[in-house]
Amino acid sequence: MENNLENKVVSMPRIGDAAPEFKAVTTQGDINFPADYKGNWVILFSHPADFTPVCTSEFMTFATMSEKFEKVNTKLVGLSVDGLYSHIAWLRTIKEKIEYKGMKDVEVKFPLIEDITMEVAKKYGMIQPNEDTTKAVRAVFFIDPEGVIRSMIYYPLSLGRNFDELYRVVVALQTADEFGVATPADWYPGDDVIVGPAGSCGTAQERMDDEELDCKDWFFCTKKLDKEKVFDAILKK
Ligand code: BEZ
């Protein structure tokens, strides 16, 4: 898809597309994306700049939650258009000096990509010129174990992300895949899930008669799905 913003053409990947390929240098060594991550879910995310306060609060939050993401088979990969030495100096400063919301001595162990040429940022539509021509916006790509983009969220420079929501998205996507269901508004594990419309899983009458389903009408059926069952299915074995 291409958006023509005041004559500036921006390419944007779409849900369902193969994640654009790239090779990059990161704070954890070189990566070949998405091939190196086959078999894992990945959150590829960009931030506008090193040594900025909102980004600092985000990295501290994400790093603190990284084990939680690891447990649901999800790797984190960050990117900004800064260079490697800036990344290293910023992450060291965070660990040594910054305290935020009870988090301190925070070590960022996931890779942070250097992208001074903006090659990767441009492939992923992270540079949105009407927001800023020289910085990436706060983009988040959820990529499945086959390297397919399954969801994406974009935030402007001024808005720090909600990392509980990013975790909820990863769990909901995996739940949908594992159980062949959809997740309704504000769903959290343990809440009822949506069973697809008639045709996709039985006729309307069969669905209305199914005792496992709670159908309010032919198009709106839910069923129970225990939190334990969700996590049994998606927690890393
Ligand atoms: C920040 O992370 O604080 C920030 C970065 C770029 C523009 C505005 C805020």
Residue 176's pLDDT band (boundaries 50, 70, 90)?
A: very high
Of the residues 55, 201, 215, 221, which is catalytic? 55
Closest Cα to atom 1 of ligand 1: 54
Ligand 1 pocket, Cβ-based, cut-off 6 angstroms: 48-49, 52-55, 135, 157-158
What is the pLDDT, as a whole number, of residue 218? 87
What is the 52 CA–ligand 1 centroid distance (Å)?
5
Answer yes or no: 221 catalytic: no
What is the 136 CA–ligand 1 centroid distance (Å)?
10
Residue 2's pLDDT band (boundaries 50, 70, 90)?
A: low
What is the pLDDT, as a whole number, of residue 227? 98
pLDDT surpasses 70 at 237: no
**Quick check: bond before 129 cis, omega within 30?**
no
Residue type at 84 in one-letter notation: L
What is the pLDDT, as a whole number, of residue 106? 98
Q: How many angstroms separate the Cα of 44 from the Cα of each of 89, 110, 150, 204?
A: 21, 11, 12, 40
Predicted confidence (pLDDT) per residue in 104-161, tens digit? 999 999 999 999 999 999 999 999 999 999 999 999 999 999 999 999 999 999 999 9
pTM: 0.93
Q: What percent of the chain has pLDDT over 90?
A: 86
Predicted confidence (pLDDT) per residue in 3-51, tens digit? 555 556 667 899 999 999 999 999 999 999 999 999 999 999 999 999 9
Residue type at 170 in one-letter notation: V
Q: How many CB atoms lie within 10 A of CB 128?
A: 21
* CA atoms of 27 and 111, how far apart (whole Å): 5
Candidates 47, 51, 55: which one to mutate for ligand 1, based on the most atoms within 8 Å of Cβ? Answer: 55
What is the 128 CA–ligand 1 centroid distance (Å)?
15
Which residue has 């001595």 as its token pair? 105
Asked whether the CA dihedral 63, 160, 69, 146 is positive or negative, the reply is negative
Predicted confidence (pLDDT) per residue in 62-90, tens digit? 999 999 999 999 999 999 999 999 999 99
What is the pLDDT, as a whole number, of residue 201? 65
Reading phi first (left if > 0) and then psi (alpha if -120 to 50, else beta), residue 3 is in: beta
